[in-house]
Amino acid sequence: MPKTKKQAARTRASEAVTLRSSRELADNEGRVFVAYAPPRTLMVMGRRDPRNGDLCVSRYAWKPPEVPWPGPDAPFERITGPEAERLLDAVERLIAEGSLLSGERRH
């Protein structure tokens, strides 16, 4: 059970996220994205399903603080804010459950 209102809100927001693998998409389908929500260090990469906008995960990594977040001219979609928070929460739950190995490639 969440201990604070913020944790409760985060839990409710993340419950709606159903993680999908980028393996579900054809090789040439979907726009590449990176999701990041500072001050968290988890980054999630994958492709956005062009049919429904779902974020399909291919891998995740831990971003060292000294590595800058790519600028707006990066060759991929930058996911931030509540959408990134929900995705990162869902991925962190799977990591904690042991369903994802460290940096596992899901592509």
Q: What are 47-57's pLDDT values in tens digits?
A: 999 999 999 99
pTM: 0.74
Residue 20 pLDDT level (bands cut at 50, 70, 90): very high
Question: What is the CA 77 to chain-centroid distance, rounded?
Answer: 12
Looking up tokens 């804010």, which residue turns up?
A: 81
Q: 39: cis peptide before it, omega within 30°?
A: yes
Domain residue ranges of the chain, discontinuous segments joined by +: 5-97
At residue 70, the pLDDT reads: 79
**Mean of per-residue pLDDT scores for the chain:** 82
Q: Residues 79-98: pLDDT tens digits?
A: 999 999 999 999 999 888 88
